[in-house]
Amino acid sequence: MGFFDSAQDVFDKGVSAAKGVVSGVAIEQQAFMKGFVRLCADGWSQGWHERNGGNLTYRMTEAEVADCRAFFYENPSEWIPLGVHADNLRGAFFAVTGAGSYMRNVPLDTARNVGIVEISATGDACRVVWGLKDGGRPTSEFPSHFMIHSVRANATSGASRILYHAHPVNVVALTSVMPLDARTFTRALWKIMTECIIAFPKGVGVVPWMVPGGAEIAMATAELMKTYDAVIWAQHGLFCSGADFDSAFGLMHTIEKAADIYVKARLLNEGGDFANTISDDGLRAIARDLRLNINVSFLD
């Protein structure tokens, strides 16, 4: 057998071996994973993800799970207890960033920095079925993501699929100088930039400083997410939910931009009261004309 014959033979064997392993569109090429990776890259370019800061989870559809199954590990990881429990997520699958993963590395090596996890039939544990190569674990904030997914799925009749956690500078800065309540933060942001009441008509929730990564902060955040699409963690960051990657990223972007304008206006004004903001009647008029179902308890 000549060189080209044997090379062809090796090639053919390689192709048939590959065909024997999997067929279909690779997980990195699936539309949901492209959206996932793009959000991570966009968040990094905004400066919201120092080191391993921030995390992202996506609740997959049944069709997406079916399209990905051929690529799942023959031997998934052991079950990882979550420390929390949700009946409505039993058997669900999530795409998740890894604990300690840097958002800036997600586009470079998705299968190492991102994984797919399956939730147990008891709704209180998960196992890695794809990605998170070499023993990676889901984000340390997965208990919070998991509990919030549970309440957001209920609150939106299943429409909400994405939870995005980031460390945006201006939102975090404001938690050092403003009272830590939803009304104060919501009014500050609604009144400084017109689009805010449109982007988050229910307002933003605020969780006081807590130890990250555990069941306590998960339960506190999930409780607020029954009402709000976004919740601030004092001295830490922001959680945003959405039905798709654009709306989750857009909500994060809007809240951080409004906080940036608020901080700049405060600095320009040397901390004094503002000469001009949107009045409560102005906010009512936006809600009336755009038919928004706003949280009226936040208006005077």
> Which option in ligand 13P, Zn ion, none does residue 139 bind, with CB closer than 5 to 8 A by kind?
ligand 13P
Does residue 99 interact with ligand 13P by CB under 6 A?
yes
Within 10 A of 241 (CB to CB), how many other CB atoms are there? Answer: 26
Instruction: Identify residue 231 by its one-letter amino acid code.
Output: V
Does residue 139 interact with ligand 13P by CB under 6 A?
yes
User: How near is the Cβ of 156 to ligand 13P at its closest, in Å?
Assistant: 24
User: How near is the Cβ of 112 to ligand 13P at its closest, in Å?
Assistant: 13
Closer of 123 and 237 to Zn ion (Cβ): 237
> Which option in ligand 13P, Zn ion, none does residue 55 bind, with CB closer than 5 to 8 A by kind?
ligand 13P
- The Cα-based distances of 48 to 41, 42, 45, 148, 165 in angstroms read 10, 9, 8, 21, 9
Annotation says 141 is catalytic: yes
Does residue 111 interact with ligand 13P by CB under 6 A?
no
Structure letter (DSSP) for residue 200: -
Contact 100, 52 (CB under 8 A): yes
Q: Which stretches of the chain bind Zn ion, using CB under 5 A?
A: 237
Per annotation, catalytic residue among 141, 195, 216, 256: 141
Does residue 64 interact with ligand 13P by CB under 6 A?
no
Does residue 175 interact with ligand 13P by CB under 6 A?
no
> How far is 85 from 94, CA to CA, in rounded Å?
15
> How far is 294 from 291, CA to CA, in rounded Å?
9
Residue indicated by tokens 């949700």: 86
Q: State how far Cα 120 lies from the chain centre.
A: 21
- The Cα-based distances of 167 to 54, 156, 288 in angstroms read 6, 25, 33
From 48-56, 80-88, 184-192, 249-257, span contacting ligand 13P (CB under 6 A): 48-56
What's the token pair of residue 67?
Answer: 């399209």
Among 124, 141, 229, 256, binds ligand 13P (CB under 6 A): 141
What's the token pair of residue 130?
Answer: 């794809």
Does residue 100 interact with ligand 13P by CB under 6 A?
yes
Closer of 196 and 248 to ligand 13P (Cβ): 248
Does residue 214 interact with ligand 13P by CB under 6 A?
no
Of 200, 276, 266, 286, the C-alpha closest to 238 is 200
Active site residues: 141
- Residues found near ligand 13P in the complex (CB under 6 A): 52-55, 97, 99-101, 139-141, 165, 212
